[in-house]
Amino acid sequence: MAAFCTVLTAFTSCLNDDDDSLPVYYDYFTITQHGDGYVLYSDNDNVVVYPTATSVATVTAGKGFADNKRVELYMEYNPEYLTTEGEKKVLRNAELKGGNYIRTLSLKSRTEAEAENLCVDDSIFSIESLDRVWARNGYLNTKVTGCYSGNNKGGIRPTVNLMLEYDADVENAASIRLLYNRHSTKDCYTMGRTQFLTSYDASLLLEVPGSDSISLKVYTDSLNAKSLKIARKDLLHPAAPGTAEP
C-alpha cells in the first residue's frame, strides 16, 4: 500500500495551487466490506466513505484490503458526492490516493498477558510518552513513543500490548496497562525514538460491568496515568450499511 507523509486536518478541504484540483480528506478508518465493495468508517467526523473500486485496487496493488481492519488514508473527493444521511455524513465515489495500514491487536486479560510472559520485567521497556488514546468504531487506539530495538533476533517487531483490569463489583470503571514488549534483552542496541500507532479490538472492554460510559485509566510503569471516558457505543463495530445501529 502506498505510504504518504502529509497529514491533513480531518475533513478540511485542502486545495492545491491548481484551481481544478479536488479537496482532500485524511483520517483513520475502520474497514468493512459490503457486497463486492468496501465501506470505510472515519474516527473523527462520523463520516462513512464509499471509495471507488479502481482507487482501492490502485493503492493496494490489486490486493484489496484483505484481512486488514484499520487504516489511515487520504483521498480526493467531489463535494457533490458528500451528503448528510441521518446523523452521518456519507462520501461516495472517493478516490483513494495513499495511506498505511494500522497494526491491529486484541486487548489482553491479566491471565492472557501472564500466560504469554508479557508481564516479565525483563521484557518490558520504557514508553517515553503516551501521545494519544481514543476509542472509535470498535477499536481502542494508542499512539506512544519509545525506542526501537535494532537487534531483535529475526526482525520481530516490538509490540505495545494492552492489559485490561477491572473489578467485577465496580461498574463503569477499568484500567489499561501498557506493556511495551520488545522481544529482546535490556542491553540490546536501540535505534532511537519511534512513534507507534496501534489499534486494539475493544470487545473485551464490553465485559466491564455497567451500562454507562467507562472511566478508563491508562498507565505504564514509567509515565503518569491518563484518564478518559469511553462511550460504550464507540466499542461497537460498525453496522452493515442499510441496517440499524447495534
Q: What is the pLDDT of residue 8?
A: 32
Q: Out of 101, 133, 154, pick the residue that ends a domain.
A: 101
pLDDT category of residue 184 using cuts at 50, 70 and 90? low
Burial class (CB in 10 A: 0-12, 13-18, 19+), 28: buried
Chosen domain end from 69, 101, 133: 101
Q: What is the span of the domain harbouring residue 81?
A: 24-101
Q: What average pLDDT does the chain have?
A: 85
CATH number reported for the structural domain that contains residue 42 in this entry: 2.40.50.500
- Please state, in angstroms and rounded to a whole number, the distance separating the CA atoms of residues 118 and 104: 17
What is the number of helices (H) and of strands (E) in the chain?
2, 16
- One domain, residues 130 and 214: yes
pLDDT at 138: 96
Residue 57: pLDDT over 70: yes
Q: Which of 83, 101, 119 is the last residue of a domain?
A: 101
CATH of the domain at 229: 2.60.40.2370
Which range has the top average pLDDT, 25-39, 119-133, 173-187, 195-209? 195-209
Do residues 90 and 148 share a domain?
no
Please name the residue ranges forming H helices in 17-72.
53-59
For a pLDDT cut of 90, what percent of the chain falls above it?
A: 63
Continuous segment of H or E residues that includes residue 164: strand 159-165
Among residues 203, 200, 228, the alpha carbon closest in space to that of 214 is found at: 228
Mean pLDDT of 162-177: 96
